[in-house]
Amino acid sequence: MSCIKCILSKICPCKNFPYFRLENDETDSKFEYQKIKVLQLSTSNEFILQGNYKKLENYDILNSFLNKPLVKIYINEIFKPNKTIKKFQYQKIKGIFNQIKPDIEKLFSRFKIKCTIPESNLNIEVIAYKLSCNPTTEEDLDMYFPIFFMELCLYPKSFIKKSQIKQIIFVHDIQFTTPYYSQERSGCPDYYDTKSLILATQERNFAYIRIVFHHEFFHYIDYVDDKSYEDNEWNKLNEPNFKYGKGGEYERVWIKLDPNIKGFINHYSTSALEEDKAEIYQYLIGCPDEALHNKDDIVKKKAFRIMDFVNKFDCDGFGSKKGNFWNNLIDFRKEFVYKESVYQGNVHLSQK
């Protein structure tokens, strides 16, 4: 199969993992909100294998991954209090990417998408913008991939299929350029031509790795659903006089959210409707119990609105009564708790 570089330049310097066809599961498409369990997020930072998240669709791969020797070191380190990836030595987990590669291959094969790792610079021109990316490094993959992979394991394969995504591309960095500006990004969806999600692996904030992945993935499905970001009903959830900013591309400096503004989890969410939705989605996936019981009634309504959207988008996975996705996700987050539940910075920039 050709990678994105092949499509654009007819030269393929990339390492692509194989994929195989699998039969679709038949599941009940009904979902009942009232059956979501009210759980408190655990304060334990201990690495424990227990709970109903064993019922997650990809638990077999997740369990294999979690029990790799280097993964145990990685997990125990990053889930300690006040710990970030920057604060432990790379040598402790060097080679972890190669150790988990069989699990990576199995998951991408199950999803029938490609894991693309360009070995040289990647340049992509898509409609009104251009992406310039440097190749990722061995250290990038070791530090970045375990968190990303654990998050990807949460998704039902029916959701991946309905997203129409074809590949995930891993590069060191992403320079996003238009005729009006050029700026660095941590992730970028390309739903126009290559049907890919491009992620920058230079990030070393583990909570931010999780947030960027889910945030950018939501942009992808939000557009694929109806080929638009427009959502008049969403606007009605906000306070009557609220108006969004000029867009996420103009929010390049970290700013704290004004406590007088209701209905938002951070300042970046106020920049545009589509950014607000993507931030609520990453919050819902990252901290489902907290999002669904938020003290801000508008945030809570938005969380349920996003849940309803993805349940309808993927009635065989997210919205399946039989699969019980949301309860399983809540149980998973109960065991694996990130220090930052809501990232207060810009979604495209690391907090320094």
Question: 193-231, pLDDT tens digit by residue?
Answer: 788 999 999 998 888 899 999 999 999 999 998 878 889
Beta partners for residue 196, in sequence order = 167, 190
The strand pairing partners of 187, in sequence order, are 199
Domain parsing of the chain, residue ranges:
50-335
Burial of 279 (0-12, 13-18, 19+ CB in 10 A): buried
Q: Which DSSP letter does residue 20 get?
A: -
pTM for the whole structure: 0.82
How far is it, in rounded angstroms, from Cα 198 to Cα 212? 11
Assign a CATH topology to domain 50-335. Collagenase (Catalytic Domain) (3.40.390)
Classify each residue of 234-273 as buried b or exposed e, where b means 16 or more C-beta atoms within 10 Å of its C-beta: beebbeeeeeeeeebbebeebeeeeeeeebbbbbbbbbbb
Contact 15, 117 (CB under 8 A): yes
Is the predicted pLDDT of residue 91 greater than 80, yes or no? yes
pLDDT tens-digit series, residues 146-201: 999 999 999 999 999 999 999 999 999 999 999 888 999 999 998 887 889 999 99
> Residue 10, Cβ neighbours under 10 Å: how many?
8
